[in-house]
Amino acid sequence: MAHSPERVEEFVCEDCQVTHAGTPVQGSSGGHEFEPPVSCGACGGTEFVSTEEWIHHRK
């Protein structure tokens, strides 16, 4: 079976809108799930929204 690359989930910092790649963690289905960083590398913010949800996000 050919390897199918996984798409990395990205997260947007609510404070400064910098995008971060999610941290991969082993998922229950054997694939990876992605978690947001603990804090933003640019501003130190701690609230993140998935890029897929960003367009629908309201602060």
Cβ–Cβ under 8 Å, residues 51 and 13? no
Domain-embedded: residue 5: no
Cα 34 to Cα 37: distance, rounded to the nearest angstrom: 9
- Assessment of whether the complete model's pTM goes beyond 0.85: no
Alpha carbon of residue 8 to chain centroid: 8
Domain-embedded: residue 44: yes
Domain-embedded: residue 33: yes
Over its length of 59 residues, how does the chain's per-residue pLDDT go in tens digits?
Answer: 456 667 899 999 999 999 999 999 987 777 788 999 999 999 999 999 999 999 888 76
Total number of domains in the chain: 1
What pLDDT score does 3 carry?
61
Domain-embedded: residue 2: no
What pLDDT score does 7 carry?
85
What pLDDT score does 23 carry?
93
Range of the domain at 22: 10-57
